[in-house]
Amino acid sequence: MMDWTWIWAKGDAALMVILSAVALYVLLILYTRLVGLRSFSKMSGFDFAITIAIGSVLASVTLWQKPTLLEGAVALGTLFGLQFVVGNLRKRLPGVTGLLDNTPLLLMNGSTVLSGNLRRANMTEADLRAKLREANVTQLEQVRAVVMESTGDVSVLHASPEAPALDPALLRDVDTGKA
């Protein structure tokens, strides 16, 4: 005979999941309003890590009795507080940004693939071609630059060949590496 008890929850357990989810939802909105939407951005590796940690706390507190709702609220407050403090430090102290964030890396300069930088980014040329297709590039001569951003996202800057040249300011903080 099969044991189906893992599917069902006692009435009070289901109610506690609902109450925890509602309370955490309200806290999440409150903390986000206090700290700002950057709390869920992927502008840096730190931002991404905080977003994952917040999701983990929400899941743990909602579905398990330990950590408690209060412990979860404190953990969320701490994570949002860290996000606030680090965000302000990044604005005020330039060295903090360099310490916490990866440097964007140039993968293509025009239609030229920078193989060394691709290796540094742990990407293959097949990965790069997939990103070009996602960006609707139809000819390599449309590519102005491809950048692996500090978040791990890949930005494809492209235009028709007769369009104006790429503004160098867009690549100011990008590591060009060695071609």
Mark whether 15 and 94 lie in a shared domain: yes
Alpha-carbon distance 103 to 116, whole Å?
Answer: 15
Q: Is residue 4 part of a domain?
A: no
Mark whether 118 and 80 lie in a shared domain: no
- Determine the straight-line distance between the first and last CA of the chain, rounded to whole angstroms: 65
Mark whether 16 and 82 lie in a shared domain: yes
Which is more confidently placed, 52 or 94? 52
Q: Is residue 176 part of a domain?
A: no
Q: Is residue 2 part of a domain?
A: no
Q: Is residue 125 part of a domain?
A: yes
What is the number of structural domains in the chain?
A: 2
Mark whether 94 and 165 lie in a shared domain: no
Mark whether 72 and 143 lie in a shared domain: no
Strand order in the sheet with 112-113: 112-113, 105-109, 143-148, 154-158
Residues 9-63 pLDDT 10s: 677 877 888 888 999 999 988 888 888 766 766 667 777 788 889 889 999 988 8
Q: Is residue 67 part of a domain?
A: yes
Average pLDDT over residues 140-166: 92
Domain that holds residue 122: 105-171
Q: Tell me, what's the pLDDT at 98?
A: 74
The proportion of the chain whose per-residue pLDDT surpasses 70, expressed as a percent, equals 92
In contact, 179 and 109? CB cutoff 8 Å:
yes
